[in-house]
Structure 1
Amino acid sequence: MDVQRVGPYTLVKKLGEGGMGYVHLAHDPAGRPVALKTMRPELAAREEFRRRFGKEAEAARRVARFCTAPVLDAGFDRGTAYIVTEYVEGPDLSAVVAQAPLAGSNLEALAVGVATALAAIHQAGVVHRDLKPSNVLLSPVGPRVIDFGIAQLADTGQAVMTVAQSMGTPAYMSPEQARGEQASPASDIFSWGSLVAYAGTGRPPFGTGGVHEVVYRVINHVPMLDGLDERIRPLVERALDKDPRRRPTAQQLMDLLLGRSEVPVAAATKAVSETWTPVLTRPQSLPAPKPAPARRGPWLPVVVGVLAAALGAGATLAVVRPWEERGALPGTAATTSTVDALGTRFEVRIDSLVRQGATARLQWTVKNVGTENAPLYNKFGNGALDTTVSRVSIVPPGVGKPLYPARKDDACQCSNVPTAPFDGGNQLQFWAVYDGLPEDAEHVDVNLGPLGVITNVAVSTA
């Protein structure tokens, strides 16, 4: 494209090209950098497109800027339709994963950040419809979702093949989109699951190949999730349910990931940005560097303090887990037990019990290894209306009474238990924070209520 100006914006360089048009780095009238997307001329020539463009662009401008690149302006200039967004410095997810999948806290923060962006998008009444790796930019402060709401401008109810081609690869479409049906917020959740699976394994969960081949797998096959971090896999599986009615909402994704009900998008965005480690792409000609040994200890207290300020102790990232040290460090899985309860069989694993002074954070996983559905909702709380795990206690040696989860602002500093069914093969991860742990306590007993008592659990130090 030879035009050097579009509207009041000066084009600097082309950043990319997609099914809808071209993206340029541009300067606004004040000289600030912005990203300017021009739509393909054949789209702008369609009367329906022109009719919907202003309406959809205005809806996109209502999306809050939490984990997104907000829309700043939109218009027509000499027959060219354009949309202007905040410029995000950083590679897209596909460029980073092409070199190595994400792992650890960055994979978990990506899942939280993209879920937060979808919550903000859906709260504005917008459906993204084209969430995929190239539409997630990895900025120095965390993931940023772009191009929300734009894909629907090209959707005129044509055949699946045409829609897939106009929107790029179908590997991240929901089954209903792949069938040419109307997209909904639940469609974005399916795309979230595919995106997180790709980020964590390096491959789309429904494979690659021709359009018809991939579309068939999206509609009919189970996702391939081998190699995905087991701590996040259960939630990805729920998001990839073929039935949109059974998928969690974006807010529920946030709540499950952060371990707290009704987490505000502002608090989630701040927590993600403070725990995100910036990623860099390297020239393709350079060999991949060998990973350095994990060194988490020195910055661990800083991260905990930042998260406490952002969310309060009860909203610490449940999957980012700044308290947990991994690999060969203390805090890894300590004890596993199998118990028959609630009409089925459970495997209970204490993942970590990590102290800082007199405060300790317990994390455990419950997996249904039986054959019966056994919902855990309302099974671990103190009272019929308590949906948390406030009843789970730790009993240090020499202490006359158990320690129950700490409370702040009359809220339990612990996980909520989801209302979803808990069938065989499903697993859930929980956490709770306790105050008053004696300094000399090296082992404690953990009372999990209906799942029994696990004895002699080691206490490690952050």
Structure 2
Amino acid sequence: MHRRTARAAPDGLRLRPVRHDPLLPDDPREVGRYRLTARLGEGGMGTVYLGLSPGERRVAVKVVRADLAADPGFRQRFAREIDSVRRVGGFHTAQVVDASSEGERPWLVTEYIPGPSLQRVLDEHGALPTRTLRALALGVAEALEGIHACGIVHRDLKPGNVIIAESGARVIDFGIARAVGATALTRTDFLVGTRGFLAPEQLTGAPLTPAVDAYAFGMVLAHACGAAPFPPGARLEPALRTLPADLSAVVTACLSADPAARPTPAQILEHLGGGKDRGAGDWLPPAVRTLVGLHNMPTVDAD
């Protein structure tokens, strides 16, 4: 185990390095040429680990679930998807480092982005102020624009898949969900996505388009401003009344039941005006900035 000394915060509090969850007995210790050191999270597609490259660079290693790995069709789609995902870049996504569809379990390696998830930020600090919401919306929309340009649909955009980093909001875990198939449901009714962020068409097994990401984008912003989850039968307009008019209009359009009525990422960026309300100053509230700073300190890994 690597130990680091905590540094003092400006207000006199002691900041402690982030401690990741230890590997479980059944977890692999190596994937390809990457040594795994801790768990970062687990989802419907598999488990994500913190790892080290041969050059000691930190990476995030996603290992696909065993039941999906046993499906030859999934492996073929996964291999095709890897070729597309490698092309995705930009300031607001996690760069793909390596991947393999061979072996017992397919895996994908991306850069490790130090920072809390948006979900953790909302759990610990509640709704975000307008300045932060606007920067979040612009960053995520720009990420989706780059992802869609490569022919990829994220399919599982949610607060847990948005990292709040020093450089801004970063979208992770993109592209691989598309490898499961051309619809939301596979032959075994495996649902791709997270309930509460699924577009209506994802619940029916209908053919999917990038518009499903627009719906999830609207739900992410609704959660970030404290309007969601919505009570049954609630109208959108009253729930979004705390938002500026342009942000409210974007969320409302994104949550349309009609996929064709939802805006594209480029239309969202144009509507929000890019630099509006983004003058000098930090885009994050002080408490969230401190949380981001903790993740950028040397971490403690469980070996």
- TM class by shorter chain equals 0.7 to 0.9
2:244 to 226, 230, 236: 230
Higher strand share: 1
Cα 1:281–1:38 change in 2 (3 A) is: same
Q: Hey, what's the Cα distance between the residues in 2 that align with 1:14 and 1:196?
A: 27
1:179 paired to 2:204: yes
The answer for the alignment partner of 2:297 in structure 1 is none
Q: Which TM-score applies when normalising by structure 1?
A: 0.52
State the identity as a percent.
Answer: 38
3-state SS of paired residue (2:169): strand
**Letter paired with 2:264:** T
Aligned counterparts, 1:29-428, within 5 A: 29-76=54-101, 78-99=103-124, 100-155=126-181, 157=183, 158=185, 162-164=189-191, 166-167=192-193, 169-201=194-226, 203-205=228-230, 222-223=235-236, 225-231=239-245, 232-258=247-273, 276-277=283-284, 279-281=289-291
Cα 1:116–1:138 change in 2 (3 A) is: same
Q: Hey, what's the Cα distance between the residues in 1 that align with 2:271 and 2:182?
A: 35
**Letter paired with 2:289:** V
Cα 1:131–1:160 change in 2 (3 A) is: farther
The answer for the alignment partner of 1:335 in structure 2 is none
Cα deviation digits, residues 94-142 of structure 1 (max 9, x gap): 1111121111211110011110101111111111111111111111221
- How many residue pairs end up in the alignment? 259
Q: Hey, what's the Cα distance between the residues in 2 that align with 1:161 and 1:7?
A: 29
Q: Aligned-pair distance for 1:162?
A: 3.7
Q: Hey, what's the Cα distance between the residues in 2 that align with 1:150 and 1:8?
A: 21
The answer for the alignment partner of 1:264 in structure 2 is none
Cα 1:76–1:186 change in 2 (3 A) is: closer
Q: Which TM-score applies when normalising by structure 2?
A: 0.77
Cα 1:273–1:204 change in 2 (3 A) is: farther
Query: Do 1:69 and 1:87's aligned partners in 2 also have CA atoms closer than 8 Å?
Result: yes
Q: Hey, what's the Cα distance between the residues in 1 that align with 2:127 and 2:103?
A: 43
Q: Aligned-pair distance for 1:228?
A: 3.9
Higher helix share: 2
Cα 1:130–1:272 change in 2 (3 A) is: farther
Q: Hey, what's the Cα distance between the residues in 2 that align with 1:142 and 1:226?
A: 24
Q: Hey, what's the Cα distance between the residues in 2 that align with 1:98 and 1:2?
A: 28
Cα deviation digits, residues 324-371 of structure 1 (max 9, x gap): xxxxxxxxxxxxxxxxxxxxxxxxxxxxxxxxxxxxxxxxxxxxxxxx
Structure 1: gaps of 5 or more residues: 208-216, 261-267, 283-462
Query: Do 1:155 and 1:163's aligned partners in 2 also have CA atoms closer than 8 Å?
Result: no
Cα deviation digits, residues 54-107 of structure 1 (max 9, x gap): 111221111122311122211146401100111111111111111211112111
RMSD: 2.8
Q: Aligned-pair distance for 1:156?
A: 6.7
Query: Do 2:78 and 2:101's aligned partners in 1 also have CA atoms closer than 8 Å?
Result: no
Q: Hey, what's the Cα distance between the residues in 2 that align with 1:273 and 1:74?
A: 40
